[in-house]
Structure 1
Amino acid sequence: MLDKQQVRNGEDAESAEKLNPSNEHNFEEAFEQTGHGKINHLVLFTSGLIMLNVSMESVGMSYAITAAECELQLNSKDKGLVNAAAFIGIICTSFVWGYLGDRLGRRAVMLPAIVMSAVFSIISSFATNVWMLIVFRFLTGCLISASSATVYAYLGEMHANSKRAAAIAWGSVFISFSFIILPGLAWLIIPGKWSFTLGYIQIVPWRAFVWLWCAPGLAAALILLFLPESPRFLLAAKGPDAALPVLAKMYEWNYGGSEEDFPVKKLASSSEEARSSGFSGAVKNVGLMFKAPLLRCVFISHISMFTVFMLSSGLYVWVPDILNSILRSPSSQNITICQIIKDKFLNASSSLEVQSCQSEVSVAVFPISMSMGAVFALTYLAIGFFINKIGRKTMYCGIMFVCGAATVGAAWVPHGAAATALLILALCSGCAASILAAIAVDVFPTTLRAMAMCVMYMVGRGGAAMGSYFLGATLDLHCHEAFTAFGVFTAASTILMIFWPKPEKVRGQMEDKGYTY
């Protein structure tokens, strides 16, 4: 396959050289000459591992917290803080990492942050009290924040424009793997009765469970050691002379031979990048997000990402408890899940029995959770196959509308199995985040892209926090109203995409101001 591409590439290069004796190409022409092969696949795999790592670090404690409840003497408030700690860390540091990603580079920021996040995550597994656990989960969140959105900029910039959306969609498939791997590992490890002493701490299954979910991040960090920095970033930050060797290296990886065989010997200098150095430059760039033509893009993409996370992540943290209620209800085939939840709450409120410290989780929750992850994976794969055929906006709007309708239906259908299926379908709204990222990444210039993506995901995780809190406050007594509000808001948010501007027009206006893509 690559041999045919190389022959065609060589013929194109000869033709181009006849028309262009100076052998000077613009960046997009030069990038197309690197082909699509080994390095693109390796970048895709590595980015997928990073996304998997971010997802597992964000929600992994929700599976470990029940096992740690008695040992660390956790009440409901403590468990809520532990589960929220990583998200709070991500929200608090997104702006800083976006700034550093645009100033220092995508790979330069992600590599050390991934390693340090694994260190803090492992330290958190040795916690002996709730506050030690909360602090180190917060610090872990601060560090995985560096990769949570920057990875989309890196993955997109390491692919040609024609393959960018599909690459982001394929990379995002790895996120769904976390919803298969985490419950699978929890099912295998956490119920174990073994323990051993390490220093002064008794190591029990839930602590070892934390160690295992660090593996994808460490594997990604190892591969990043051998991958180059984004050439688009180097072009914007340091100029054509810095970007050209990376393009030659990509050509070598994809076609074999040597870097000297790269047909492009000189990149045309575009207009001087409109940027300032230091923090003042970052403030100036952020200011561009709130001016035409980017203001409309920022408003639509950030509100949309808020909605995606509000439904998918906000609802997800409650699904194990909801599933447990359905599975333990003797009449789940005849009443709605909202009635099941209300009955459980009323029974718990009227009971004066003192409960011993033990977890009561139906074992069926784990395979159902794994099945949920499999559905997510299939959805992501479908997005990867059809996104360029159907169109990004059409696919995003279709998924969000269907998921919104499923959310409303889940609360009203009087059958436990049907309600569970609709809940799983509603949670597929999380898959729309990758499509939204692919839509948004095209309109932000290189020197602003990492910052814009980080802030967009920060707003999204704010939606997750608000959605989780809203459901926690209303689920017991106002379940129907809560699900209906979630579903209607999600479906209605697709109207915003009608006003999304043409990317070519935005890029043209920004390029006229001296910014590159």
Structure 2
Amino acid sequence: MSQNSLERTENEEKTFLNRNRDTHDDEECSGNNNELAFEDAFELTGQGKFNYVVLLTCGLIMLNVSMESVGMSYVITAAECELELTSEHKGLITAAAFIGIISTSFLWGYLGDRFGRRAVMLPSMLASAVLSITSSFSINVWMLLILRILTGCLVSASSATVYAYLGELHIKSRRASAIAWASAFISFSFIILPALAWIIIPGKWSWSLFGFPIVPWRVFIWSWCVPGIIAACILAWLPESARYLLSAKGPDKALPVLARMYACNKGMGVDNYPVERIITSSTEAKQSSGFVGAVKNLTLMFQAPLLRCVLISNTSMFAVFMLSSGLYMWVPDILNSVMSDTSAEDITICQIIHNKFQAAMNETLEEETGPCHSEVSVKVFPISMGMGVVFAVTYMAIGLLISRIGRKTLYCSIMFVCGLATISAAFVPQAAGATALLILALCSGCAASILAAIAVDVFPTCLRAMAMCVMYMVGRTGAAVGSNILGATLDRHCQLAFTTFGVFISGSVILMVFWPKPEKVRDEMEQRGLSY
């Protein structure tokens, strides 16, 4: 850094310190220019390399969670004969990760608020990679199912905690856009997974590892563990959230993290950080400890003013996942039906699905002959990659527009349009148009990041990880419910199922009318001694 730029930076910092000193009470500043309130000290760290590394790391974590959650959708067909999978087995295996995530979200939320965001995510990510790789050596369906559920349990630790960690390491004005940009990595999973599957799964090769036969689908599982391992390595270098440390352990523990952020962003040493002490009020940074304290804090989520936020955010996230993830689990099968249809006339996708169902019913009346043969249609892979590109563009557009349009407006617009697209997809008598509408409907998943950005602001630091984990637990419950509803109704009541989904999704935006002002919620919670 040049001498002129160094002097300019120092002058800017002195101006900032003097300006903020004047805004605080004389008693609070006690004449020391190097004492600041936490928010002012946090603002002073700036925006730079440290924040970009955090964003990249959190993006890779989200990518890892998404790949671990939906990757088995590409495996079940390839492993069908080797593991003797039935339709019921396939349903269980594809839902295994969701089962693990849903069943342990509450526990990880408690641990994240109790011991720290990074302290929970780092070991669980490493352990989930080990279990995921181990699952590739499964010799029967039950071994694979158990290992995938356990993998989901560990993935759950970072699936929602990452939003709290990412939001707490960005200033308020950049928090929403940071969450949106990191969430774009989720869309990359819908490009990377089918691309890897296209390269690996159709292969006819095999080799032996210590006498165990290694076939393409097993290597495919190894490949999607790479982003999580890379993210864990970077996370080992990153510090704990400064906001969490302030809330749980006090300002003396948070100050070194702020100094490190400042040093990384400014290209200086930590000793150059001009703040020597963080000023706190008498109630700030105090948090009840232990399990009893966590339960006491948790009860605040079910009291005004947070209760309304919990009900609205959880119901909305249920709707988002019900459509995006619930429908996505069936899209490859729907696309296979559409591409295999030989009818010359233009009919709806629901009619195509019904015709396939009738043909399958007729085949069951005939005697089965010949050995098991599983074939993965490569036509699905480029379409799935195209879907991923659409999702990526949508996420990036959200990152650019969220600060200009507003979170609530953008969220409601996306959900309303996706709901209408869901209804229309069932009635359009043209396969290409219906497929495009299905892809548009799946873009509702991008609204999850906006909803997270809306919700993360209203929950205090000591409740934030728990609130996000519970919200995503409810969301993934919606995915499981949506997937099962479609599985039970697509063949016989396809148009009714799509219409019901579309109406529910579009109608859910009405809840945002009742979302309280974040400033009012924060003021009331801060009066109770909880910090943000």
TM-score normalised by the chain length of structure 1: 0.98
Q: Which runs of 5+ in 1 are unaligned?
A: none
| Structure 2 residue corresponding to 1:393, chosen from 387, 392, 408 | 408
The answer to whether 1:481 aligns with 2:496 is yes
2:475 aligned with 1:460: yes
Which residue of structure 1 aligns with residue 258 of structure 2? Answer: 247
Residue 264 of structure 1 deviates from its aligned partner by: 1.3
Cα deviation, residue 360, structure 1: 4.4
**Paired position in structure 1 for 2:360:** 348
- Asked if 1:9 is matched to 2:16, the reply is no
Q: Is the 8 A contact 1:59 1:83 kept in 2?
A: yes
Change (3 A) 1:93 1:9: farther
Alignment pair present for 1:110 and 2:110: no
Distance 1:442 1:10 in 2: 27
Residues 164, 272 of structure 1: CA spacing in aligned structure 2 closer, same or farther, 3 A cutoff?
closer
Matched AA of 1:10: E
What residue number does 1:185 align with? 196
Q: In 2, Cα distance between the equivalents of 1:111 and 1:316?
A: 29
Q: Output the CA distance in 2 between the equivalents of 1:216 and 1:180.
A: 14
Distance 2:165 2:522 in 1: 19
Which one of the candidate residues 68, 72, 86 is aligned to 2:83? 72
The match for 1:315 is 327
Identity across aligned pairs (percent)?
68
1:458-512: per-residue Cα shift (whole Å, max 9, x none)? 0000000000000000000000000000000000000000000000000000000
C-alpha separation in 2, matches of 1:207 and 1:221? 22
1:26 match: 37
Deviation at 1:269, TM superposition (A): 1.6
Indicate the SS of the match to 2:75. helix
> Structure 1 CA distance, aligned partners of 2:10 and 2:345?
64
Supply the distance in 1 between the matched residues of 2:454 and 2:100 (Cα, whole angstroms). 26
In the TM superposition, what whole-angstrom CA distance separates every residue of 1:293-344 from its partner, at most 9, and x where no partner exists? 0000000000000000000000000000000000110227600000000000
Q: Which of 305, 318, 341 is 1:329 aligned to?
A: 341
Aligned twin of 1:170: 181
Structure 1 counterpart SS, 2:342: coil
Distance 1:49 1:162, change over 3 A: same
Q: Which TM-score applies when normalising by structure 2?
A: 0.95
Residues of 2 paired with 1:267 and 1:332: CA distance?
Answer: 73
Aligned partners of 2:501 and 2:373: how far apart in 1? 33
Matched residue SS, 2:208:
strand
2:438 matches 1:438:
no
Corresponding residue of 2:26: none
1:94 corresponds to which residue? 105
State how far apart, in whole Å, the 2-side matches of 1:9 and 1:110 are: 37
1:332–1:340: 8 Å Cα contact kept in structure 2? no
Q: SS at the partner of 2:302?
A: coil
Which of 235, 251, 255 lines up with 2:246 in the alignment? 235
Contact 2:77/2:376 (<8 A) preserved: no
Q: What is the letter of the counterpart of residue 9 of structure 2?
A: Q
Query: Which digits, 9 at most, give the CA deviation of each residue in 1:271-306, with x for residues without a partner?
Result: 144532111112112211100000000000000000
> How many residue pairs were aligned?
517
Distance (whole Å) between structure 2 residues aligned to residue 337 and residue 8 of structure 1: 66
Q: How has the CA–CA distance of structure 1 residues 333 and 319 changed in structure 2, closer, same or farther, with 3 Å as cutoff?
A: farther
Secondary structure at the aligned position of 2:204 is classed as coil
Cα deviation, 1:175-201, whole Å, max 9, x if unaligned, reads: 000000000000000000111111232
Cα distance, 1:14 vs structure 2: 5.2
1:46 aligns with 2:62: no
- Find the partner of 2:386 among 368, 371, 391: 371
1:261 deviates by 1.1
Would the aligned equivalents of 1:310 and 1:463 in 2 still touch at CA under 8 Å? Answer: yes
Shift of 1:141: 0.2
| Residues 389-435 of structure 1 deviation map (CA, whole Å, 9 limit, x = unaligned) | 00000000000000000000000000000000000000000000000
CA contact (8 A) 2:78 2:375 kept: no
Is the Cα–Cα contact under 8 Å of residues 263 and 270 in structure 2 kept in the other structure?
yes
User: Residues 56 and 178 of structure 1 are in contact (CA less than 8 Å); yes or no, is this contact kept in structure 2?
Assistant: yes
Amino acid at match of 2:335: L
Q: Which residue of 1 aligns with 2:289?
A: 277
Q: Is the 8 A contact 2:247 2:286 kept in 1?
A: no
Letter in 2 for 1:284: K
- Rounded Cα–Cα distance in structure 2 between residues aligned with 1:45 and 1:9: 29
Tell me the amino acid that sits aligned with residue 331 of structure 2: V
Q: Using a 3 Å threshold, how does the CA distance of structure 1 residues 278 and 347 change in structure 2: closer, same or farther?
A: same
Opposite residue 472 of structure 1, the aligned amino acid is G
User: How far has the Cα of 1:6 moved from its partner?
Assistant: 3.0
Closer/same/farther in 2, CA of residues 68 and 106 from structure 1, 3 Å limit: same
Counterpart residue type for residue 417 of structure 1: A
Q: Deviations over 1:241-283 (max 9, x none)?
A: 1101100010000002211111111111221445321111121
Q: Which residue of 2 aligns with 1:358?
A: 373
Q: Within 1, Cα distance between the matches of 2:86 and 2:210?
A: 27
- Residue identity opposite 2:514 in structure 1: F
Cα separation, 1, equivalents of 2:504 and 2:123: 39
Mapped partners of 1:92, 1:223: distance in 2: 28
The answer as to whether partners of 1:326 and 1:332 remain within 8 angstroms in 2 is no
In the alignment, which residue of structure 1 is the partner of 2:274? Answer: 263
**8 Å Cα contact 2:78/2:374 also seen in 1:** yes
- Counterpart AA for 1:504: E
Preserved CA contact (<8 Å) 1:90 1:142: yes
What amino acid is aligned across from residue 316 of structure 2 in structure 1? S
Aligned-partner Cα distance in 1 for 2:485–2:454: 28
Instruction: Note the C-alpha offset of 1:10.
Output: 2.2
**Alignment match, 2:441:** 426
Match of 2:299 in 1: 287
Question: What secondary structure, in the 3-state scheme, does the structure 2 residue paired with 1:197 have?
Answer: strand
Measured at CA, do residues 333 and 46 of structure 1 come closer, stay the same or move farther in structure 2, by a change above 3 Å?
farther
Distance 1:302 1:18, change over 3 A: closer
CA distance in 1, matches of 2:10, 2:54: 24
Gaps of 5+ in 2: 23-28
Task: In structure 1, give the amino acid aligned to 2:322.
Answer: M
Give the AA of the match of 2:65: V
Question: Is residue 166 of structure 2 the alignment partner of residue 152 of structure 1?
Answer: no
RMSD (CA atoms): 1.5
Seen in structure 2, the aligned counterparts of structure 1 residues 353 and 416 have a Cα distance that, compared at 3 Å, is: farther
The answer on whether the counterparts of 2:202 and 2:376 sit within 8 Å (CA) in structure 1 is no
Q: 2: distance between equivalents of 1:332 and 1:293?
A: 58
CA contact (8 A) 1:123 1:136 kept: yes
C-alpha displacement of 1:382: 0.1
Q: Which stretches of structure 1, 4 residues or more, deviate above 6 A after TM superposition?
A: none
Deviation at 1:65, TM superposition (A): 1.1
The 3 A distance-change label for structure 1 pair 59 and 333 is farther
Q: 1:332 to 1:133 in 2, by over 3 A?
A: farther
Change (3 A) 1:497 1:384: same
